[in-house]
Amino acid sequence: MKKIYDLLIIGGGPAGLSAGVYAGRAKLKTIILEKGTGGGQAATTSEIANYPGIRHISGPRLVEEMKLQNEDFGVEFAKADVTGVDFSGEVKVVKTLGGDYHARAVIIATGASPRTLGFPGEEEFTGRGVAYCSTCDGEFFEGLEVFVIGAGYAAAEEAIFLTRFATKVTIIARESSFSCAPSIVDKVMANDKIEVKFNTEILGVHGDGMIQSARFINNVTKEEFEYKAKEEDNTFGVFVFIGYEPKTEIFKGHIEMDDAGYILTDDDMKTNVNGVYAAGDLRPKSLRQIITAVSDGAIAATDAGKYIEEEKDRLGIKDEPEDEKPAKKEQAAVPAGKSALLSDALRGQLKGIFGKMESGVTMVSIVDESLPKSVELRDFLLDVAELGDKLHLELYNKGENAEIEEKINADKFPVVALLNSNGEYSGVKFHGVPGGHELNSFILAIYNLAGPGQALDSAVLNSIKGISKKANIKVMVSLSCHYCPDVVVGAQRIAIENPNVEAEMVDISNFQEIKKKYKVMSVPAMIINDEEVVFGAKKIDEIAALLV
């Protein structure tokens, strides 16, 4: 018998998480589907100082607290890539690569993604100087000059953040003033490392491999000018923050939208389809901030609760009483000798995941004691290995076991590779300590190798099985990048399913020589067979297509 949720929320950003809290408190059987690590734009925001009651907090920390709050109220989470929907019936159907989900009501909270400007060279140099996320890519511009395109809240905030890395930040504003709160403007104008050029637009960027020059125009005087990279730098950065476009393509034809793709709702977040709501940045609105997103989510969940209750009364459906859940204990301090990356609460969650493993997985790490990161990885693995009976660990000092080093192609350190239950190298490796967002990809690598693993569409699986040539994929990541884990998981899942493929996660902060050699200025970036470099988030089918 299929499981029918009361409420299904598509999207794990602030709007979706706020909806989850209100639904959970109302004792609705609720699930949140997240495509990646969740968090939306908030997960890429370095500092949030305008959320009432919280004076200063990072975006990722705020999102994590929201997730924990949802878990406190019994809300379920699932990683799922939505491929289609059917809102025509009383029970709504949300289709994913892992199967269909059913719910009496749905809240769409898929948010929006950064908008491109379309200037000459923008697409060509994306990942080689052109970027859209300061949290993900700011560190690549350490000691360089940076231009920020835009004059809204995001542009102003990101310009301030980029001063941590850049020697100078120049804001290129098309209008004659900023379009954000005066308090943010004051901070920008008071920063000695920021220069602002109003009434100015970018005409294009040029270079050999990386950006080396850019042309601009004053749209009032029509005077053009060119900036060239300093000889000692040889490059610079251009960050584009000109707004967002709604991620609603998959819902076209199912609910009413405006010409720009924003979902139309009433004041209760209802769409034109009964039982379907929309919340957050995908709605037409004058202010797109975390606080407006969480407000939308709260309103949507509250009205959805009324709709669900009326539907159950109409259909004569009675909920079965649930067992009383034990009160949560306060989280204790991390025990001495344990990895700081794992809290007691997280250890408990991982024990549950690893308890479902169908076959054994062995983690093999070659330790270079001269590298602090290699030692940190060793301690992390010792901690993880205690959390599952079918999870094993083999540690060797560098040079101690040449055979195993050759077996897992241990050519960079730190390194950990995964072996399957037969002791065979799975093609999955991590070069770096999988903290931050990459902890998720590490856990999923183990889960997918041991089974049951994440469900794969049959067509995608057949495509993976059809890869007949040897291939190596290095997925260059930053631990603060929320787009990166999806690419790592996709590439490594391909390696698990096809022995011709090897997929490595490479923390770019530890391997500057690779960054320079392949001119990587943005993550995620895939280096395929040490030749082709592919930038940006890619789905598993897109990665597989690159290897055929």
> Residue 334's pLDDT is what?
35
Are 484 and 438 in contact, with CB atoms under 8 Å apart?
yes
Percentage of residues of the chain with pLDDT beyond 90: 74
The secondary element (H helix, E strand) that includes residue 201 is: strand 200-208
**Number of neighbours of residue 458 by Cβ within 10 angstroms:** 9
> Residue 327's pLDDT is what?
43
| AA letter at 256 | E
From residue 274, give the alpha-carbon distance in Å to each of 22, 146, 256, 278, 302: 20, 48, 12, 12, 15
| AA letter at 423 | G
CATH number, domain at 135? 3.50.50.60
> Residue 137's pLDDT is what?
86
pLDDT in tens, 349-394: 889 889 999 999 999 999 999 999 999 999 999 999 999 999 999 9
Q: Range of 184's domain?
A: 130-240
Angle at 464 between CA 458 and CA 466, to 5 degrees: 105
| Domain boundary residue, one of 240, 266, 290 | 240
State whether 361 and 482 are in the same domain.
Answer: yes
CA separation for the pair 287, 99 (Å, rounded): 36
- Three-class secondary structure assignment of 176-200: CCCCCCHHHHHHHHHCCCEEEECCE
Write the burial class of residue 347 (CB in 10 Å: 0-12 exposed, 13-18 middle, 19+ buried): middle
Q: Among 38-42, 224-228, 507-511, which range has the highest average pLDDT? A: 224-228
**Token representation of residue 532:** 């082709």
State whether 104 and 232 are in the same domain.
Answer: no
- Axis crossing angle, helix 438-450 with helix 484-497, rounded to the nearest 10: 20
Are 203 and 216 in contact, with CB atoms under 8 Å apart?
yes
From residue 524, give the alpha-carbon distance in Å to each of 152, 283, 312, 493: 26, 28, 45, 16
pLDDT in tens, 303-349: 999 999 999 999 998 876 655 444 444 433 333 346 777 877 788 88
pLDDT in tens, 113-137: 888 999 999 999 998 899 988 877 8
> Residue 479's pLDDT is what?
83
Q: Annotated catalytic sites, by residue?
A: 133, 136-137
User: Which sign, positive or negative, has the C-alpha torsion 520, 526, 528, 532?
Assistant: negative
- Three-class secondary structure assignment of 303-342: HHHHHHHHHHHHHCCCCCCCCCCCCCCCCCCCCCCCCCCC
> Residue 43's pLDDT is what?
62
| Domain boundary residue, one of 240, 274, 300 | 240
What is the domain count for the chain?
3
Torsion on CA atoms 432, 467, 470, 527, rounded to nearest 10: -40
**Number of neighbours of residue 430 by Cβ within 10 angstroms:** 28
State whether 368 and 516 are in the same domain.
Answer: yes
Q: Would strands 112-114 and 244-246 be described as parallel, antiparallel, or unpaired?
A: antiparallel
State whether 149 and 267 are in the same domain.
Answer: no
With respect to residue 33, please indicate whether it lies within any of the assigned structural domains. yes
pTM: 0.67
Between residues 269 and 244, the one the model is more confident about: 269
